Amino acid sequence: MPVTKVLTEGIGEVDLRSIEVYRKRGGYEQWKRALSSLKPEEVMEYADKSGLRGRGGAGFPTGKKWSFLPKNGKPRYLVCNSDEAEPGTFKDRMLIENVPHLVLEGMLLGAYGIGSHHAFIYIRGEFKDGYQVFARALDEARAAGFVGKNILSSGYDLEVTVHRGAGAYICGEETALLNSLEGKRGEPRLKPPFPAVEGLYGMPTVVNNVETLAYLVPVLARGWEWFAGAGTERSKGFKIVSVSGHVQRPGNYEVPLGTPVRELLDLAGGLRPGRTLKAIQPGGGSSACIFEEQLDLPYDYESLAKAGTMLGSGAVVVFDDTTDFVKAAYNLVRFFSHESCGQCTPCREGGHWLERVLERFVDGRGLRGDLDMMHRVSATITGINLCPLGDSIEPFLKSVLNRFPEQFEARIA
Amino acid sequence: MKLTVDGVELEVPKGTLLVEAARKVKQEIPIYCYHTKLGPAGLCRVCLVEIEGMPKLQIACNTQVTDGMVVRTRSEKADAGRAMVIELLLANHPLDCPICDKGGECDLQDYAMAYGRGMSDVVDPKERKPKAVDLGPTIVLDEERCVVCQRCVRFDDIIVRDAQLVVKDRGHRDIIATATGAPYRHYFTGNVTELCPVGALTSKTYRFKSRPWDLRRTQTSCTQCSVGCRQFVDVRYGKIMRTMTVAEDEAISDGWLCDRGRYNIGFYESPERLTQPLYKSDGRFIQIGWDDAFDLWATALRKAAARPASIGAIGGGRLTNEEAYVLQHLFRSLGTKNLDWRAGRQRQATPGARAGSIAEIETMQAILIAGEEPAELAPVFDLRIRKAVLRNGARVIHASDAARTLAELGSGVERAALIWDGVDLDLGRVLHERLAVIPNLRTYIVSEQPNARGAEAMGMLPEAGGRDTAAMLDDALAVISLFGVNPVRNAPASFGAREALERTPFVVVSELFMTQTAELATLILPATGAFEKSGTTTSFAGDLLSLTPSLQAPEGTLADLEMLVGLARALRIELPSREEVEAAVAQRATLPAEFGFGDVRYGKSYGDEGAPPRRLFSGGGTCLHDERIAVLVDSAEVPA
């Protein structure tokens, strides 16, 4: 089994939370190099040519996202999205808790690459440990002169602000995050304008995921060719995959993109003895299921999209034959209903309606017409919402309604 | 940009929103959260349309028209999406239409009938929420009916710039509340009841009062301040149920009303209204008939006419233009030059050659305010100032000193407005002269009386040799006639109005209520109110506004015009014909433009140290009996 160690290098072996340890292993060298010998455009070129795509869920090419910033002389902001809350995802948490300096260096490089003098990191409210670790790392970096005014006598100023969320899934959506960061209610904004044009405080803004920014450090250290050489034609490089559910060793596994799903399962120790596989959610709570016959699918953006699902945030949730899929569907739909900001009618009311229906099913009080109705409602509310949250309700529900109808029919009173 | 909407081709300017383009071809696209004045929010998702070349349904409210766009507002896919949104909006909606104020004029009812499935698969119990949340002095909220379109929230944010209302909690537990939990209170709260597409936000004054189809509707102009917003007056059984905005009134109100204009309507049916002429005999008022009243008045005037300078008339700011014109005409024909509309502190109402229009203020880069706040004197005009600030980043500067104002303004300001309250003539004159360096300076005078500008234009100003209000009171005339003015309460203390009127042998007061001034009268004439008569008034910016009666005047009252006609008959003076009056009003609608700020013809200013600020919302002007308005203001501001 190929074990890849890029971002996860050293985790569990040494204490990379300490700036000394991090620097001994080459930490902040890329930041120093960028400040002394690279132009921002060159950093952007690394991001672009490496083929690095957004690791938060949408998989949008990072270099392309940066290139949307207008050249209008306005201040620009980089925001690191660490509001990791997609059900089944726990990779960003691991990164900020274990390699905060790597994340910070990635942020500094990203901010430099887009010509920003102020970077923000929005840390999920529940990540209290991660917040403390990161804040300490930032203090260390500032004391070492890597953050602040005229960094390392380069003339470049870059300030970093740490912000804690208050416990809303929706704030992981980039425009809701920006609202929340500004002190407003965490609701997605109507687009256009997109954040690249009018983002934080109305200024051009790039929002990148923790993992995305962290990968900038090895990309600069080892070259974009190295990164682009891994993975597949369009899904280049590596990805940390959070494997959870009915496996023997749930955890984060870093792999080249395109690794077959079967191997991810093997990395996580496979199923427990005597169990059989029923379904896998390959990309977090918002993704549709794949099944046993699809285990050889390469784990990359294109293959999963072609199979009708998505790679998302890289959360592989495994369900074995002990799963009550009615309860599983109820659990996820209740989550989305609970986390809906309530702006859009389809998400607010549709999610709540389906939650109430599934609650009845859990109690064994389903009605004859409910299955058709759930298909109709979940399908019609998809694609007509302001943000992706409302569109996240259907995929899992539809998968299990289609695959395990008998489990639902058994609950019809 | 050419596009096709449901097979109809049309051409619209670049940047037009699809929802507005569709209106042009009379193709209704249902909307809840979108509002022309608030712009798109993209929340309710009911305006779904199908656009050729786009796989997903699009919201018409946030889609800008592109050239060659082919749109279907009614297709199988669009209909299904829209029907689903309506079904979802009804999923937790209480459907208590039979007891809902909005029933009969409710967008949710209309759209559910037009675009809904006509049935619902929802069998689970609906979410229960509070049914009567007291939001503040004016508004009650029914949480269950709310569809969270956030129009009210955005109105507070974008239009009022006060952001009191917010959405609290999340998802289907969403509720509308004030951010701090404090009562919802500003000068424009009533507008949210009209913006609300359902019956969630209701006016305390209208709750459970009527059904829309039982109302008789007329359109008139508000006369509670010098702006003169168009408004609908809805009447049932001869009583006002409510007043509403007129969306098309772009030039004046921009489609809004202030709470005073909307809610201060209770006085019309007050039992304290004067409904019979009263004559003071031995210190007590006795009820008399109108014929006797005209005879007494005419006799007193005839007796004094030998010395016309001992006759005077004050008023006009609360009359129509026609009444003000006839008033000055009649008294001039008695030979007097003692005429004045000014019964308070304001000295001037016509803003001179650089006068700006109400809408123009939105385009300004700087707004200079001299004297009292437009927010207090002309609230709906103040909303335009807020718009200028939001849109152009216009600066608002308090201009009490010309040099300091110019310094603060700096260079590069092309368009600026000077808004003055017409009180301190010296200040007005200096500002006007010094600020003339601004290339496009527009001047405004917001008045304390609604038709001050009209009265001034109609000739209710002393001519050479005549006395102004202060002089009339100072000299103790023989006969003084007061029309809708209350100098005892509103004139500067230095006028000594009470003592002067006590000294004056014959005081005639035309009023709706027994005011402090009326109490001193020899003869009180019960007048009709603005909703009870027709005519025209002039806005502070010079717009000619029309009044249409929506209420029957109480028996025993007469309009001031009818009083003047009665008096003229008793005096055997011939008045100009109706046509002559109308022609004169049209011709004089505004004074000659060369009247500058602080023009010498306005006389001088009078000190009024220690006087409380004039606040429209504390029942300023002469409206003593603001019964319902009292609930809108802090008790400290309510006049004793």
**What's the rounded Cα separation, in Å, for the pair A356 and A360?**
6
- Supply the CATH number for residue B392's domain: 3.40.1010
- Supply the CATH number for residue B73's domain: 3.10.20.740
> CATH top-level class for A241-320?
alpha beta
Bridge-based pairing state of the strands B506-511 and B440-445: unpaired
**What's the rounded Cα separation, in Å, for the pair A375 and A370?**
9
> Closest partner residue to B92 among A340, A349, A385, by Cβ?
A349
**What's the rounded Cα separation, in Å, for the pair A302 and A165?**
32
Q: For B340-367, how does the pLDDT look when each residue is reduced to its tens digit (9 = 90+)? A: 999 888 999 999 889 999 999 999 999 9
> Closest partner residue to B124 among A338, A340, A356, by Cβ?
A356
> Closest partner residue to A350 among B46, B80, B88, by Cβ?
B88
For residues B408 and B535, membership in a common domain is answered with no
Judging contacts by C-beta atoms under 8 Å, the chain B residues touching residue A373 are 121
The predicted structure's pLDDT at residue B633: 44
Q: For B510-521, how does the pLDDT look when each residue is reduced to its tens digit (9 = 90+)? A: 999 898 899 999
Average pLDDT, chain B: 90
For residues B294 and B188, membership in a common domain is answered with no
Judging contacts by C-beta atoms under 8 Å, the chain B residues touching residue A338 are 170-171
Q: Which of A343, A373, A393 to mutate to test the interface with B (most CBs of B within 10 A)?
A: A343
Q: Tell which of B269, B289, B308 closes a domain.
A: B269
Q: What b/e readout covers A87-121, taking b as 16+ CB neighbours within 10 angstroms?
A: bbbbbbbbbbbbbbbbbbbbbbbbbbbbbbebbbb
Do the chains contact at A339 and B85, CB–CB below 8 Å?
no
For residues B250 and B136, membership in a common domain is answered with yes
Which residues partner with B481 through β-bridges? B313, B508
Judging contacts by C-beta atoms under 8 Å, the chain B residues touching residue A367 are 123
Minimal-distance CA residue of chain A relative to B41: A190
Residues in Cβ contact with A254 at an 8 Å cutoff, skipping those fewer than 6 apart: A4, A5, A6, A7, A8, A238, A239, A240, A241
For residues B132 and B210, membership in a common domain is answered with yes
- Please check whether residue B176 lies inside any domain of the structure: yes
For residues B411 and B473, membership in a common domain is answered with no
Is residue A320 scored above 90 in pLDDT?
Answer: yes
Q: Tell which of B419, B446, B473 closes a domain.
A: B446
The residues spanned by each domain of chain A are 19-229, 241-320, 325-409
- Please check whether residue B9 lies inside any domain of the structure: yes
Sheet of strand B311-315: strand arrangement: B284-287, B278-281, B523-526, B506-511, B479-483, B311-315, B339-340
In the chain, the amino acid numbered A170 is: I
| Partner A contacted by B48 (CB < 8 A) | yes
| Partner A contacted by B175 (CB < 8 A) | no
- Supply the CATH number for residue B155's domain: 3.30.70.20
Mean predicted confidence (pLDDT) in B403-409: 89
A325-409, CATH topology level: de novo design (two linked rop proteins) (1.20.1440)
Structure letter (DSSP) for residue A346: I
Which stretch of B151-155, B433-437, B500-504 has the lowest confidence by average pLDDT? Answer: B433-437
| Partner A contacted by B443 (CB < 8 A) | no
For residues B86 and B64, membership in a common domain is answered with yes
- Please check whether residue B544 lies inside any domain of the structure: yes
Residue of B145, B76, B75 whose CA lies nearest to B109 = B145
> Closest partner residue to A385 among B45, B62, B150, by Cβ?
B45
Pair B333, B301: CB distance under 8 Å: no
Mean predicted confidence (pLDDT) in B390-398: 92
Average pLDDT, chain A: 96
A192 preceded by a cis bond (ω within 30 of 0): yes
What ipTM was estimated for this complex?
A: 0.91
For residues B87 and B210, membership in a common domain is answered with no
Q: For A199-242, how does the pLDDT look when each residue is reduced to its tens digit (9 = 90+)? A: 999 999 999 999 999 999 999 999 999 999 999 999 999 999 99
Q: For B590-613, how does the pLDDT look when each residue is reduced to its tens digit (9 = 90+)? A: 555 566 777 777 887 776 665 656
Minimal-distance CA residue of chain A relative to B148: A343
Q: Which of A169, A349, A352 to mutate to test the interface with B (most CBs of B within 10 A)?
A: A349
For residues B133 and B252, membership in a common domain is answered with yes
Structure letter (DSSP) for residue A348: I
Is residue B632 scored above 80 in pLDDT?
Answer: no
What's the structural domain count of chain B?
4
Q: Tell which of B593, B609, B633 closes a domain.
A: B593
For A412, list phi and psi in degrees, rounded to 5. Answer: -80, 125
Which residues partner with A315 through β-bridges? A242
For residues B140 and B264, membership in a common domain is answered with yes
Residue of B7, B17, B19, B6 whose CA lies nearest to B66 = B17
Per-residue pLDDT band for B614 (boundaries 50, 70, 90) equals low
Look at B53 and B25; give whichever has higher pLDDT. Answer: B53
| Partner A contacted by B76 (CB < 8 A) | no
Judging contacts by C-beta atoms under 8 Å, the chain A residues touching residue B92 are 349, 352
For residues B30 and B86, membership in a common domain is answered with yes
Q: How many residues does chain A have?
A: 413
Do the chains contact at B148 and A339, CB–CB below 8 Å?
no
- Please check whether residue B604 lies inside any domain of the structure: no
What range defines the domain where residue B23 resides?
2-91
Residues in Cβ contact with B244 at an 8 Å cutoff, skipping those fewer than 6 apart: B194, B231, B232, B234, B257
Is residue B501 scored above 90 in pLDDT?
Answer: yes
C-alpha distance from A352 to closest chain B C-alpha (Å): 7
Q: For B485-494, how does the pLDDT look when each residue is reduced to its tens digit (9 = 90+)? A: 989 888 888 8
Structure letter (DSSP) for residue A94: H
Judging contacts by C-beta atoms under 8 Å, the chain A residues touching residue B88 are 345-346, 348-350, 353, 381
Is residue A410 scored above 60 in pLDDT?
Answer: yes
| Partner A contacted by B153 (CB < 8 A) | no
Minimal-distance CA residue of chain A relative to B46: A345
Q: Where are the alpha helices (DSSP H) in B269-377?
A: 290-304, 321-333, 374-377
Judging contacts by C-beta atoms under 8 Å, the chain A residues touching residue B91 are 349, 352-353
- Please check whether residue B324 lies inside any domain of the structure: yes
Residues in Cβ contact with B489 at an 8 Å cutoff, skipping those fewer than 6 apart: B515, B516, B517, B622, B624
For residues B469 and B332, membership in a common domain is answered with yes
The predicted structure's pLDDT at residue B133: 95
Residue of A255, A245, A397 whose CA lies nearest to A335 = A397
Listed in order, strand segments (DSSP E) in A59-117 are: 77-82
Domain boundaries A19-229, corresponding CATH code: 3.40.50.11540
The predicted structure's pLDDT at residue B629: 47
Judging contacts by C-beta atoms under 8 Å, the chain A residues touching residue B40 are 190
- Please check whether residue B318 lies inside any domain of the structure: yes
Q: For A372-383, how does the pLDDT look when each residue is reduced to its tens digit (9 = 90+)? A: 999 999 999 999
For residues B372 and B259, membership in a common domain is answered with no
For A283, list phi and psi in degrees, rounded to 5. Answer: -140, 40
Mean predicted confidence (pLDDT) in A252-267: 96
Do the chains contact at A353 and B85, CB–CB below 8 Å?
no
Q: How many residues does chain B have?
A: 640
The predicted structure's pLDDT at residue B590: 57
Residues in Cβ contact with A99 at an 8 Å cutoff, skipping those fewer than 6 apart: A7, A10, A11, A16, A17, A22, A214
